Chain A
């Protein structure tokens, strides 16, 4: 069972399956598109990345997701690949995942007779592993509007600017007061552990403090505890560990208010 086939294509080249018991969900209309609801939006699992990227609801209500989609793969991959596929593939390097974690995405899972909902962080359990049972499909993603946040940040560190598998990524939503106090914060890192890492203790440690280099530096030890990066052909664990912390400092440049803060 597949949707866009962008991951499948690569896998099949390596390990051909014969005969081909493939079911494509990608053309089912009901699984495509974005529907607005009073409290947020429902994204059909088979919506392509490109379609979401050009969708005004996504762009305006969930800019952090749009930022992740913007750097996912390349135009052909964004045209074919789907958000549901990105979730079910459950790669720690999936570019939509850190944004979906900070947005507290809830997944709608359907089977012939039932519908269930599950938070994305409970759905993905390991690299390539998720809690999709036999007979179930991912139908879509529920996102809640939260206009409170005033920093919507996504950064992907890859070996090149397109067609890159993330070496580390960070998605962040912050509400920073006019005086520079972090009032709310959601953070999620990709590619630094078997699954996306969204450490609540780091978030808690930031809350109530000035958004400054000092504040961010102080939570680095907590962050480094929370992650467990690996060495692979793209980067060393040490590099990922360093960069996972460093890219948090990029939030300083996002701080939209008075000069003098964040330095």
Chain B
């Protein structure tokens, strides 16, 4: 009897396959290439936020020994524009620079030292233009335009959504609360900064290996921007050393391609250092939000007005889609019959904001969930009870008026919180605070849409090959940026094909080998590709068993009786076992390969007739849900807030690998704690004042408490093995849960994140001062 214990099973917690090679330092990332005869490429950045370029002075640089080439926009023969929806970002600045991090010239050099010297020698003659450094300034009448040709002026995208009677219904509420919130930038701060390498082969093929979430989309962007044939480009995407959305789109790809075209067949490498990653990379959108929320006296939510402003920097970079997702989630996971939800994504000369885990939702969740607590307090309801009374169930409509037709497990999450010891024992814990400490407990409910929305096709193509050696090779078309989806794919294939790890192989995304499967983003990676993979695996399994039956069993229709075993096919009635390496010989080359396409379902409802908003992703059909609970302790002497315990209860459907799932949730919480408490990108007149990890403070393990993650595992009928997306939802909860906990602890609410010590101490002092006045 074959040993079956190592067969991969869905639902089993297993170590991810990349763990060992990553821990040992053996895994090669895009930025790990140091080949022979290497050319080093680097970028001259604008350094000023807004100016017309009069002249780029490169002669001195060109003559420097060791410099191979200095390239500017004049060397680009395509559109010189990149972007996902609105292509407004130049590869190399031509007429203007629009933020300090704009790329102006590309230098190719023999080594790093020459490269640095060469970049310093480039001078740019500017005609400075007035800069726009705030949303308010950008929206002023007659404000200088960042993109003169954009019909919306400095507004990249505007959304105006209304359900029921909208904000007018606030007047019919018994209780209304109002809050103005601001949320900060957030830096992705991945271990692996943006980077990669490229090569122009002898036959004219451009091969790019990059740290990217979007190899297939990059192809089209690079081709158009540089005016080269898409067919002549190949992009490989190894594991990323973190991405979180910051590599959802072009970073180094076009620059590397341009460089390779001027390297006479030598490989060229470019990796941004940490400061460059800060200055040129994208960030989470900072924003300001104005919320008014009203309820009836019994605590039933009745009307919402939400105004959301996001600073997108000078380029789209998904900033429109991010606003749209923010607007869709602005009212949270509640039944609110009347809502006015308006939003503006605004061009400025600040750093570029773009995709970041959460994609516009953490900002609105911060505002909505704090407003919920304010309303609960006014109604004298517990925060949990307030949410239980208004939580969406399947079949309810969202604040956008869209019916929730997929699995909806928020109520179960809330029940689980109510039953949890951390909720039941919170008063005792709060009462046992030490001297000069205040303790508070906060909760937040979150929902997160999955996939691209109604218009942009959300599909994946899975491919499996039975190799001549009798193993299964999984062609993974969607990037594993660290979240572990590649492992999950092997687990899915292993479960269906009844294989162990020894008989499974993985091919990471490569536009020449794997099939287009969309981006690693939008909490859709495992859902969409997983569904495609199930189709491909089932079809291949059927074919193998059928063919085996034809050869080894008497009855060719006996395929159903045959079973797959690791590396073999087994026929229980006869006890016959044939190695797959033998079966493979009976299959034609094309039959060894199975391909299946899955396209995610979308909702048919149209909450808006604004086609542009629909294009930008409104509305979604499938949502994950969660309830987060935070225990915080506030130091009255310093204002320092410490998260001391954390609980996340999630409805992300069924779980394929509980270990990988828990890592996703914990990673989201940790990143969310940074967002809530200490990460503060300081930008002054468009220039980042904290361009490194010494001044931009992300939490370390010492700042992250014990985290408990519970999955309620409600089946999503359309999901692979019942799964829904889990990549983003965990970052939506920490800021509001912690802010609510701080308000609970201090008796004063801080409307501006992060809740850094200085801000908290000021609020505590103001409160103390206020009390003294009253006394």
Shortest A85–chain B CB gap in Å is 17
Closest 9 CB pairs of A and B: A161-B702, A246-B637, A162-B702, A159-B697, A239-B758, A162-B700, A253-B435, A233-B695, A160-B703
A249 contacts partner chain B, Cβ-Cβ < 8 Å? yes
Residues of A close to B55: CB separation below 8 A: none
The 8 Å CB contact of B678, one of A159, A165, A247, A250, is A159
Q: Hey, which chain B residues are within 8 Å of A160, CB to CB? A: 678, 697, 699-700, 702-703
In contact, A157 and B638 (Cβ under 8 angstroms):
yes
CB–CB A74/B637 < 8 A: no
Within 8 Å by CB of A249, from B637, B639, B689, B690, lies B637
Complex: A175 Cα to B639 Cα, angstroms = 29
A-B contact count (CB 8 A): 58
In the complex, how many residues of chain A place their beta carbon closer than 8 angstroms to a beta carbon of chain B?
A: 24
B765 within 8 A of A: yes
Q: List 30 A-B residue pairs with CB atoms under 8 Å apart, sorted by A's residue number.
A: A157-B638, A157-B757, A159-B678, A159-B756, A159-B757, A161-B642, A161-B702, A161-B703, A162-B700, A162-B703, A163-B700, A164-B697, A165-B694, A167-B757, A233-B682, A233-B689, A233-B695, A234-B695, A235-B757, A239-B639, A239-B757, A246-B636, A246-B637, A246-B638, A247-B638, A250-B637, A252-B435, A253-B434, A253-B435, A253-B436
By a beta-carbon cutoff of 8 Å, the part of chain B in contact with chain A is 434-436, 636-640, 642, 678, 682, 689-690, 694-695, 697, 699-703, 756-758, 761, 765
Chain B residues near A242 (CB-CB < 8 A): 761, 765
A57 contacts partner chain B, Cβ-Cβ < 8 Å = no
Task: Kindly state whether residue A243 has any CB partner on chain B within 8 Å.
Answer: yes
Which residues of chain A are near B700, meaning CB under 8 Å? Answer: 74, 160-163
CB-CB under 8 A from B642, the residues of chain A are 161
- A236 an interface residue at 8 Å Cβ cutoff? yes
A239 touches B761 (CB 8 A): yes
State how many angstroms separate the Cβ of B252 from the closest Cβ of chain A. 21
Complex Cα spacing A74 to B640, Å = 20
Instruction: Name the residue on A nearest B274 (C-beta).
Output: A13
Measured between alpha carbons, how far is A246 from B703 in the docked complex, in Å? 22
Q: In the complex, A164 Cα to B700 Cα: how many Å?
A: 10
Q: When the two chains form their complex, are residues B640 and A233 in contact, meaning their CB atoms are under 8 A apart? A: no
Contact B761 A243 (CB under 8 A): yes
Closest residue of B by beta carbon distance from A234: B695
In the bound complex, what is the Cα–Cα distance between A243 and B761 (angstroms)? Answer: 9
**Considering only CB atoms, which chain B residue lies closest to A263 in the complex?**
B435
The CA-CA distance from A87 to B159 in the complex, in Å, is 58
Q: Give chain A residues whose Cβ lies under 8 Å from the Cβ of B690.
A: 233
Further 18 A-B residue pairs, CB within 8 A, beyond A159-B757, A246-B636: A10-B694, A74-B700, A159-B678, A159-B697, A160-B702, A161-B703, A162-B701, A162-B702, A165-B694, A233-B695, A235-B757, A236-B758, A239-B758, A246-B637, A249-B436, A250-B436, A252-B435, A253-B436
Interface residues of A in 215-249 (CB under 8 A from B): 233-236, 239, 242-243, 246-247, 249
Instruction: For B689, give the chain A residue with the smallest CB separation.
Output: A233
**Would you give the shortest CB distance from A242 to chain B, in whole angstroms?**
7
B756, B757, B758, B761 — which one has the most chain A CB atoms within 10 A of its CB?
B758
Query: Which residues of chain B are within 8 angstroms of A239 by Cβ–Cβ distance?
Result: 639, 757-758, 761
Which residues of A56-77 have CB atoms within 8 Å of chain B's CB atoms? 74
| A residues 145-176 in Cβ contact with B at 8 Å | 157, 159-165, 167
Query: What's the least CB distance linking B207 to chain A, in Å?
Result: 32
A240 to chain B, nearest CB (A): 9
Q: Which residue of the partner chain B has the closest CB to A167?
A: B757
Q: Give the residues in chain A near B689, CB-CB below 8 Å.
A: 233
Among B436, B636, B642, B690, the one with the most A-chain Cβ atoms within 10 Å of its Cβ is B436
